[in-house]
């Protein structure tokens, strides 16, 4: 897995998601606030997006933080089993 790979999962800390970002050595985790009628990185990025997909697409072109220069490049997914994202909507 290379730097820029990312994974989105339901957050256990807030009403929203956690985006895990692969660094050269390790990972960085960002909280995605979904408590209102928009999606944004909590405490990191003032931009508001209509959907989670919009947020991810935006940060494929624009860095998440100036200090870290994180640019989303490649989503990570489940390899050997069918996707289970439908469980998010039950």
pTM above 0.85, yes or no: no
Q: What would the mean pLDDT of 63-70 be, rounded to a whole number?
A: 93
Q: Which domain holds residue 44?
A: 5-89
The CATH code of the domain that includes 46 is 3.30.505.10
Beta bridge partners of 40: 33
Parallel, antiparallel, or unpaired: how do β-strands 5-10 and 74-75 relate? Answer: parallel
Q: pLDDT tens for residues 3-50?
A: 999 999 988 888 889 999 999 999 999 999 998 899 999 998 889 999
In total, how many domains does the chain have? 1
The torsion region of residue 34 among left (phi > 0), alpha (psi -120 to 50) and beta comes to alpha
């Amino acid at each position: 897995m290379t730097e820029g790979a990312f994974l989105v999962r339901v957050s256990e800390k807030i009403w929203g998601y956690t985006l895990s970002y692969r660094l050269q050595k390790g990972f960085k985790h960002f909280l995605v606030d979904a408590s209102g009628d928009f999606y944004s990185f909590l405490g990191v990025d003032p931009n508001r997006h209509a959907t989670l997909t919009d947020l991810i697409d935006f940060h494929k072109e624009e860095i998440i933080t100036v200090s870290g220069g994180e640019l989303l490049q490649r989503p990570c997914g489940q390899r050997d089993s069918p996707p289970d994202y439908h469980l998010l909507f039950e």
